[in-house]
Structure 1
Amino acid sequence: MNRSRKFINDIFIYAIGNLGSKLITFLLVPLYTYFIAPDDFGYYDIALNISFLGIGVLSFQLRDGVFRFLLDNEDDRIRKDIISFTCRFLLRSTLVAFAIGLVCLLFFEIRFLPWIVALTVVFMFYEIYIQVIRGLGKNVYFVYIGILTSFLTIVFSCLFIIGLDCGVLGIFYANILSRLLSMCIIECKLRILKRYFRYDFSDPQINREMIRYSLPLLPNALCWWLLGSSNRLFIDHYLGLESNGIYAVAMKFASILETFSLIIYQAWQETAIKQYGSQDKNNFFSSVLYAQMYVFSAFVILVIFAIKWNYGWLVDENFQASAQYLFPMGISVIFFSLTSFFDMGYQCSKETARNLPGVILATALNLLLNFLLIQRWAIWGIVASSILTYLFLFLYRMVDSRRFFRVRIPYAGMIPLGGCLVAGIIYYGVSSIYLQILYVAILMVLLWIAMPRYVKEQLVQVGMAKLRKK
């Protein structure tokens, strides 16, 4: 009970830290769609996804390694070495990024290239900095930096896009400055670098262990980037930047669901690592997955319909066509979330290299499906490809993870997936908003009744505890 309660409590903590940034992204969509042309927004979306790729390559995925090793060690000397090694690596990676950017600037004509490089470097430092905060157990400050960054992003976005009329460049300015400033503010409070960073401090054994853990995650990250971002390149090539802008707007709303998935993943990551050695891990892991299927499916249904009911005023008329893709994108995120659950087997055991075959197969399948389906079904082909790929990876990992833990899902676990099917019929088959609200309300009540009792009890107890604190 205590570990389940802690897991749910961690979800609330990470929700506050993550939802702030995604709520800002949600609120900024009207600003972007009203003041930025679809082709410019489509170009920014591609640049952003290329930056995410650059982050993984330049950092060797140390963002995962630094959290995993800090969480395992409470000795200040070891923590000092982990953080010092990571900082040295990032400084060298920054020089490499600037060198690559300079070469590209001399030989290629790429719009906003200096700002793409700057965005990549700042995002790299920010992502690893917040993982250091998590690894040190400073979860409250993880919440603070998420909220602070979100607030600064919306302030700078309004300043540069509306006030100074910078257009799409204003998005680059806002994201870079907000993260730099928030890192500086939190560093002044925690003084992590002052306490732990020493340029000459090094323990070769720990450094090798971190590289051995993180390096296999690099091709894994490249494959995940292809899974999540290559579809933009297919759309750009076959359909054009305007279609990519429409798809990007739908993805902005789908990212709300991805954020909730990330929240569960972060809370589960911490709990799974600590509970991996427990004698009843199979039962505990099974109960968590079973509960996640219910809670996340219900959340997806509610969010998708809430967005649809407000789409008319949230998005400019040039982007209204993107509403039709929201529901299947939500189904895709459900399978993505279930897939992420099994990722813990590789992390808990530190056998990250075993993760590669499944991800490589899924990536190859995704690229093949994108190529075949986009020419027949346009954006619908991309959406279908995503659902099929994550479903394949979910089934693959469920089997492959038996070497680490064995989960058992009762037949009642199919109920939330059936609820999603019913919700899809309502989404496309019922035109009246009032009837949609009625049917969705009935569906939520039925899912709550079918939900396992222990899940309802834990949710109610933690929720009441939060309210009492307020």
Structure 2
Amino acid sequence: MIKKIVENVKFLMLKKEVQSFINYYIFTIINAGISIFSISYLTKHIVPEDYGMIGIYTSILFFLPSLISFSANGLIAIEIVDLEVDKYLEFRNGYISFLLISFIGSSLISILFCLYFSEFGFVIIMATIMGFIQTLSSIHNTELFQFSKSTRFGLISTGTVLLGFLLTVVFISFFNLNWQYRISALLIAEFVFLIIRFYFLSSIGSSFKFIFDKSQFKYIIYYGAPLMLSVLAGWVLNQSDRYFLLHFFSLKEVGLYAAAAGIASFVVMINSNMIKVIYPLVYKKLSKREGKKFILKLTASYSIVILLISVVFCAGLYFFGHLFLGEKYQSAMPIIYIMCLGQAFFGIYSTTGLVIDYFKMTKLKTILVLLSAILLILLSFLLIPLFGIYGPAVASLLSFLFLSILSFFISLGLFKKHNIT
């Protein structure tokens, strides 16, 4: 019996997908550790009100890459599979050209917003620039995922996070600068590694030629248009809590939520890397009209794993969280617990959501996310009077639970509709 188990483990360890999975998660743990240590450092060096400004910045940055790319980054993965190499390279150049034009337009809109919301001018401009850089970086990331270069992806992501943290320490501790230089540190780190990605680790930069292809631009817009509303709904689901708090309370509470969300990003990292590992395999199976049992088994297994990880992580925070979270941020602990559980359910949604993505059911996905966003808004207004600053977090948890359940049943319908075995 033991011998058979050992043989099965050896067999799995030799599989490319399993090796990629392990690589991704090793770097995920490293990145999560750096991120949590960064939050610990920040909560001990800046007040919640300043962290609130960083929270506003991250909330703006949440949707800007999707706005600049018109939510069409998913096309990169699809076209890698569907097109010949030469055709794909041509598509990639056209896509980057589209991003450049979109960034110019987004920058003009950002300037107008700065004139109206002058107190948030710095975070708006920095989020716009960072959004563009992240959008370009995502092209390289997608190619790394598609070609299973997990180690290279891990080294790049860890290098970016580490450089951002080191620059933060230099700016704040050595030069005694303010919260704005935390954002500047992150921007510098992302830009440095973008150059490395495009010119040293790939030919994306050296082979780029500007292409004004109206037909391709229309294709990108047609694909992404239904998803733009989904991006707005996704922003409501993930970021609107800050603005509910800003309306009902103050920038201090926004700072507490931003710190809590940063720690809960440990679960977000696990979710995002899980998707990066499995989506090429899921897409290949669906392209052959198979994979129903695999996807259902994957969803069930991941549901158990991510919920268990979230509970264990929260238990660790309960006993040891006071050691790394600043004294002024201790009241954020219950928010962290709720957010971690909510993100676990979002991860469950992400597995079945791949089925919706593959069949390009963008309108359906938009409706699904929009319904969840509406539910979150209604619940937030109902729960804030009952739970105070914890109300938006509880509303998010319930909305993610609703999203995961509804997505599961929609995927079952798509299996039947497309005869997936």
TM-score using structure 1 length: 0.80
Indicate how the Cα distance of structure 1 residues 312 and 105 shifts in structure 2: closer, same or farther if over 3 A, else same.
closer
| Counterpart mapping for 1:373-412 below 5 A | 373-405=383-415
Partner of 1:89 in structure 2? 98
Which residue type is aligned with residue 255 of structure 1?
S
Q: Deviations for 1:204-227, whole angstroms, at most 9, x for unmatched residues?
A: 3x6554443333222212111110
SS class of match (1:404): helix
5+ residue gaps, structure 2: 1-7, 417-421
Partner of 2:4 in structure 1? none
Which of 258, 261, 284 is the aligned partner of 1:274? 284
Partner of 2:349 in structure 1? 339
Indicate how the Cα distance of structure 1 residues 18 and 214 shifts in structure 2: closer, same or farther if over 3 A, else same.
farther
Structure-1 separation of matches of 2:234 and 2:372: 9
Which of 62, 66, 73 is the aligned partner of 1:56? 66
**8 Å Cα contact 2:256-2:329 kept in structure 1:** yes
Which of 177, 184, 188 is the aligned partner of 2:188? 177
Indicate how the Cα distance of structure 1 residues 229 and 399 shifts in structure 2: closer, same or farther if over 3 A, else same.
same
Indicate how the Cα distance of structure 1 residues 349 and 164 shifts in structure 2: closer, same or farther if over 3 A, else same.
same
Partner of 2:57 in structure 1? 47
Q: Does 1:351 align with 2:361?
A: yes
Structure-2 separation of matches of 1:291 and 1:13: 19
**8 Å Cα contact 2:355-2:414 kept in structure 1:** yes
| Counterpart mapping for 1:245-394 below 5 A | 245-278=255-288, 280-394=290-404
Which residue type is aligned with residue 151 of structure 2?
V
Q: Deviations for 1:129-178, whole angstroms, at most 9, x for unmatched residues?
A: 42344345544322221021012111111111111122111111111000
| Counterpart mapping for 1:376-455 below 5 A | 376-405=386-415
5+ residue gaps, structure 1: 407-470
CA RMSD of aligned residues (A): 2.4
Q: Does 1:154 align with 2:180?
A: no
**8 Å Cα contact 2:71-2:231 kept in structure 1:** yes
Q: Deviations for 1:324-376, whole angstroms, at most 9, x for unmatched residues?
A: 23333222122111111111111222222221221111111111111121122
SS class of match (2:415): coil
Which of 66, 73, 85 is the aligned partner of 1:76? 85
Partner of 2:35 in structure 1? 25
Q: Does 1:168 align with 2:193?
A: no
Greater CA drift, 313-322 or 56-65: 56-65
Which of 114, 138, 144 is the aligned partner of 2:125? 114
**8 Å Cα contact 2:68-2:131 kept in structure 1:** no
Sequence identity (%): 21
Q: Deviations for 1:91-137, whole angstroms, at most 9, x for unmatched residues?
A: 11221132223333445423324334333333333334423443455
Which residue type is aligned with residue 351 of structure 2?
F
Which of 233, 239, 252 is the aligned partner of 2:249? 239
Partner of 2:107 in structure 1? 98
SS class of match (2:119): coil
Indicate how the Cα distance of structure 1 residues 217 and 21 shifts in structure 2: closer, same or farther if over 3 A, else same.
farther
Indicate how the Cα distance of structure 1 residues 55 and 310 shifts in structure 2: closer, same or farther if over 3 A, else same.
same
Which residue type is aligned with residue 36 of structure 1?
I
SS class of match (1:199): coil
SS class of match (2:292): helix
Indicate how the Cα distance of structure 1 residues 306 and 256 shifts in structure 2: closer, same or farther if over 3 A, else same.
same
Structure-2 separation of matches of 1:298 and 1:326: 16
Indicate how the Cα distance of structure 1 residues 301 and 376 shifts in structure 2: closer, same or farther if over 3 A, else same.
closer
Which residue type is aligned with residue 93 of structure 1?
S
Indicate how the Cα distance of structure 1 residues 58 and 110 shifts in structure 2: closer, same or farther if over 3 A, else same.
farther
**8 Å Cα contact 2:34-2:165 kept in structure 1:** yes
Structure-1 separation of matches of 2:26 and 2:194: 18
Q: Deviations for 1:276-315, whole angstroms, at most 9, x for unmatched residues?
A: 1446522211221121122222211222222222211101
SS class of match (1:378): helix
**8 Å Cα contact 1:339-1:397 kept in structure 2:** yes
Structure-2 separation of matches of 1:245 and 1:107: 23
Indicate how the Cα distance of structure 1 residues 270 and 99 shifts in structure 2: closer, same or farther if over 3 A, else same.
same
Structure-1 separation of matches of 2:202 and 2:274: 28
Indicate how the Cα distance of structure 1 residues 123 and 164 shifts in structure 2: closer, same or farther if over 3 A, else same.
farther
Greater CA drift, 275-284 or 256-265: 275-284
Which residue type is aligned with residue 62 of structure 1?
A
**8 Å Cα contact 1:239-1:378 kept in structure 2:** no
Greater CA drift, 286-295 or 29-38: 286-295
Shift of 1:192: 2.3
Indicate how the Cα distance of structure 1 residues 402 and 90 shifts in structure 2: closer, same or farther if over 3 A, else same.
same
